[in-house]
């Protein structure tokens, strides 16, 4: 059990997907101008990451033993199709949830964090529950980074930023500071 908690904390803080592994940077720079949007996108990410961990575990366990060189191709195809199917199912059964997460689901599928999770999980040889803990940690870590960035950027709207730094440059420098802050968690050690 402590093993699982450790994997979760490690993915959440020590090896935060966005701030120390640079995965999922597109939403990090693209959709972090409002906190509300950032929260929704983060939660949609948690959901897709859990699905991904499930798919990757299933593929590794039952299919890919016979053909490891097809790993990348099958990950991409299976994850993308499962997310599509789940999106349709949510649209049918829970329109409210669909409105909250809907437009983000297909976008997230092409996010590097998703494929990254599947690959890391495979490389580290995680089992089912370990994979789930890893996905939860990674997802909430991503949400944390998105929300932190969004809250800083909401303040930035009223700040007096020099004209040359407006736009991506200042966001990257803020990201550097956030990343620096997260380096502090490195003292906790890392799970493998």
Partner 1 sequence: MTSTAPAPPAPASLEDLTRGLWRENPVLVQMLGLCPTLAVTNAVANGIAMGLATTFVLLGSSLMVASLRRFIPNEVRITSYVLIIATFVTIADFVLEALVPGIHKQLGAFIALIVVNCIILGRAEAFASRVTVRRAALDAIGMGAGFTAILLLMSATREVLGSGALLGHPLFGPGFEPWVIMVLPPGGFLTLGILLLLLAWRAKRRSLGGRSR
Chain positions contacting partner 1, by CB under 8 A: 19-23, 25-26, 29-30, 69, 72-73, 76-77, 80, 110-112, 114-116, 119-120, 123, 163-165, 167-173, 175-177, 179-180, 183
Distance CA 150, CA 40 (A): 12
Q: Which is nearer to partner 1, 93 or 160 (CB)?
A: 160
> Are the C-beta atoms of residues 53 and 135 closer than 8 Å to each other?
yes
Q: How many CA atoms lie within 13 A of 118 on its CB side?
A: 28
- Helices then strands, counting H and E runs in the chain, come out as 9, 0
What is the distance between the alpha carbons of residues 145 and 134, in angstroms, rounded to a whole number? 16
Find the shortest distance in angstroms from Cβ 94 to partner 1: 27
Packed helices 112-123 and 35-58: angle between N→C axes, nearest 10 degrees: 40
Residue number, 5 or 188, with CB nearest to partner 1: 188
At closest approach, how far in Å is the CB of 59 from partner 1?
A: 14
User: Which residue number, 147 or 170, has a Cβ lying nearer to partner 1?
Assistant: 170
Complex with partner 1: residue 99 or 114, whichever CB lies closer:
114
What is the closest distance, in whole angstroms, from the C-beta atom of residue 166 to partner 1 in the complex?
Answer: 8
């Amino acid at each position: 059990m402590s093993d699982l908690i450790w994997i979760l904390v490690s993915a959440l803080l020590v090896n935060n997907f966005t701030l120390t592994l640079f995965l999922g940077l597109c939403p990090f720079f693209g959709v972090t101008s409002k906190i509300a949007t950032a929260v929704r996108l983060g939660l949609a990410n948690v959901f897709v990451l859990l699905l991904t961990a499930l798919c990757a575990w299933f593929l590794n366990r039952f299919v890919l033993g016979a053909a490891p060189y097809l790993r990348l191709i099958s990950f991409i195809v299976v994850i993308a199709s499962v997310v599509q199917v789940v999106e349709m199912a949510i649209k049918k059964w829970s329109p409210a949830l669909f409105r909250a997460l809907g437009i983000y689901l297909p976008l997230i599928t092409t996010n590097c964090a998703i494929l990254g999770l599947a690959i890391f999980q495979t490389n580290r040889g995680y089992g089912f529950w370990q994979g789930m803990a890893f996905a939860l940690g990674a997802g909430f870590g991503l949400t944390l980074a998105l929300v932190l960035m969004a809250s800083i950027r909401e303040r930035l709207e009223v700040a007096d930023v020099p004209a040359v730094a407006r736009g991506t440059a200042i966001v990257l420098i803020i990201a550097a500071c956030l990343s620096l802050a997260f380096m502090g968690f490195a003292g906790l050690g890392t799970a493998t």
